[in-house]
Amino acid sequence: MCRARRSSAPLCPLLGLAVLFLPAARAEEAKPFLHPLFTDHAVLQRGASLPVWGWTVPGETVKVSLAGKTAEATADAQGRWEARIPALDAGGPYDLEVSGPQSECVKDVLIGDVWICSGQSNMQWPVTLTDNAQAEIAEANFPRIRLFTVPTVPSFVPVTHIQASWTVCSPRTVGGFSAVGFYFGRYLNRELGIPIGLINASWGGTVAEAWTSAEALAAMPDFSKSLEEVAERRAKLGQPQDLDREMAAWWAANDPGSKDGAGWADPAFDAADWKTMNLPRNWEQAGLPDFDGIVWFRRTLDLPVAWAGREAILSLGPIDDRDTTWVNGTRLGGLDDWNRPRDYKIPAGTLKAGTNVIAVRVLDTGGGGGFHGQPGQMRLAGSGADAPEPVSLAGPWSFRDSTPLGRCSPAPQRLDGNPNVVTVLYNGMIAPLLPFAIRGVIWYQGESNAGRPEQYRTLLPTLIGDWRARFGVGEFPFLVVSLANFMKREDHPTEGGWALLREAQSLTARNVPKVGLAVTIDIGDAADIHPRNKQDVGKRLALQALKISYGRDVIPSGPVYKSMTVRDGKARIRFDHVGSGLEAKGGGKLTGFAVAGEDMKFVWAEASIEGDEVVVWSPDIPKPVAVRYAWANNPACNLYNKEGLPADPFRTDGPLSER
- DSSP string covering 588-636: S---SEEEE-TT---EE-EEEEETTEEEEEBTTBSS--EEEES-SSS--
Say if residue 321's pLDDT is above 90.
no
Q: How confident is the model at residue 1 (pLDDT cuts 50, 70, 90)?
A: low
Say which DSSP state 472 is in: -
The secondary element (H helix, E strand) that includes residue 452 is none
**pLDDT given at position 337:** 76
**Percent of all residues in the chain with a pLDDT value above 70, rounded to a whole number:** 94
Give the per-residue pLDDT at 44. Answer: 99
Residue 262 pLDDT exceeds 80: no
What's the burial of 17, exposed, middle or buried (CB within 10 Å: 0-12/13-18/19+)? exposed
Q: What is the average pLDDT across 32-38?
A: 96
pLDDT digits (tens, 9 = 90+) for 425-460: 999 999 999 999 999 999 999 999 999 999 999 999
CA 349 – CA 355 distance, rounded (Å): 14
**8 A C-beta contact, residue 400 and residue 269:** no
Mean pLDDT of 412-437: 91
Distance CA 230, CA 212 (A): 13
- The yes-or-no verdict on residue 27 having pLDDT over 70 is no
Alpha carbons 234 and 236: distance in angstroms, whole number: 5
Least confident of 155-159, 283-287, 620-624: 283-287
Q: pLDDT at position 261, please?
A: 53
DSSP labels, 241-267: P-HHHHHHHHHHHH-GGGSTTT-TTST
CB 641 within 8 A of CB 581: yes
3-state DSSP call for residue 361?
Answer: strand
Polymer length of the chain: 659
Q: Which pLDDT value is given to residue 558?
A: 98
Kindly state the average pLDDT of the residues 124-139: 95
Residue 480 sits at the vertex; the CA angle it makes with 479 and 485, to the nearest 5 degrees, is 145
Round to whole Å and give the CA distance between 95 and 109.
6
* Nearest to 427, CA basis, from 175, 42, 153: 153
pLDDT digits (tens, 9 = 90+) for 208-227: 999 999 999 999 999 999 99
The yes-or-no verdict on residue 418 having pLDDT over 90 is no
Mean pLDDT, residues 260-268 taken together:
81
- Which whole number is the average pLDDT over 285-296? 89
- The region of weakest confidence among 312-326, 474-488, 625-639 is 312-326
229 CB-side CA count, 13 A: 19
| pLDDT at residue 28, as a whole number | 45
pLDDT score at 239: 67
Please report which confidence band the pLDDT of residue 165 belongs to, taking 50, 70 and 90 as the band edges.
very high
pLDDT at position 656 is: 79
Whole-number Cα distances in Å, 141 to 138, 171, 189, 595, 653: 8, 6, 12, 50, 49
Residue environment code for 563-592, b if the CB has 16+ CB neighbours within 10 A, otherwise e = ebeeeeebbbbebebbbeebbbbeeeebbb
Report pLDDT for 232.
86
pLDDT at residue 13 is higher than 70: no
Gap between the Cα atoms of 137 and 263, Å rounded:
54
CA distances 544 to 37, 331, 554, 558, Å, are 27, 52, 9, 11
Are 446 and 501 in contact by the 8 Å Cβ rule? The answer is: yes
Least confident of 232-241, 361-370, 401-410, 522-531: 232-241
The sign of the dihedral angle between the CA atoms of 554, 558, 560, 564 is positive
- Phi/psi class of residue 209: alpha, beta or left (left: φ > 0; alpha: ψ in -120 to 50)? alpha
Residue type, 493: P
Residue 19 has pLDDT above 80, yes or no: no
Identify the weakest region by mean pLDDT among 28-37, 323-332, 500-509, 517-526: 28-37
| Architecture, CATH, for domain 13-218+420-488+495-548 | 3-Layer(aba) Sandwich (3.40)
Helix (H, G, I), strand (E, B) or coil at 654: coil
Q: Is the pLDDT of residue 325 over 90?
A: yes
Which segments within 365-412 are labelled E, that is strand? Answer: 370-371, 378-382, 391-392, 395-404
- pLDDT higher than 70, residue 151: yes
The model's confidence at residue 26, banded by pLDDT at 50, 70 and 90, is very low
CATH of 252-407, one of 2.60.120.260, 3.40.190.290, 3.40.1030.10, 1.10.287.110: 2.60.120.260
Whether the pLDDT of residue 14 is over 50: the answer is no
Longest Cα separation, the chain: 85
* pLDDT attached to residue 417: 79
**Could you tell me if 246 and 412 are in contact, meaning their C-beta atoms sit under 8 angstroms apart?**
yes
For 180, phi and psi rounded to 5 degrees?
-60, -45
Asked if 123 and 181 count as a contact pair (C-beta separation under 8 A), the reply is: yes
Residue 207 to residue 88: CA distance in whole angstroms = 37
Distance from the Cα of residue 309 to its chain's centroid: 45
How does 407-418 read in b/e, with b if 16+ C-beta sit within 10 Å?
ebeebbbebbeb
Instruction: Over range 333-350, report the average pLDDT.
Output: 86
pLDDT tens for residues 68-90?
999 999 999 999 999 999 999 99
pLDDT of res. 495 = 82
Domain boundaries, the chain: 13-218+420-488+495-548, 252-407, 560-658
Interatomic CA distance for residues 73 and 26, integer angstroms: 30
Q: What is the mean pLDDT of residues 266-278?
A: 94
In this prediction, residues 374-401 reach a mean pLDDT of 92
Which three-class secondary structure string do you get for 57-125? CCCCEEEEEECCEEEEEECCCCCEEEEEECCCCCEEEEEEEEECCCEEEEEEEEEEEEEEEEECHHHHC
pLDDT for 15 equals 31
Going by C-alpha positions, the residue among 540, 566, 541 that lies closest to residue 643 is 540
**Over residues 398-421, mean pLDDT:** 87
For 499-519, the three-class secondary structure string (H helix, E strand, C coil) is HHHHHHHHHHHHHCCCEEEEC
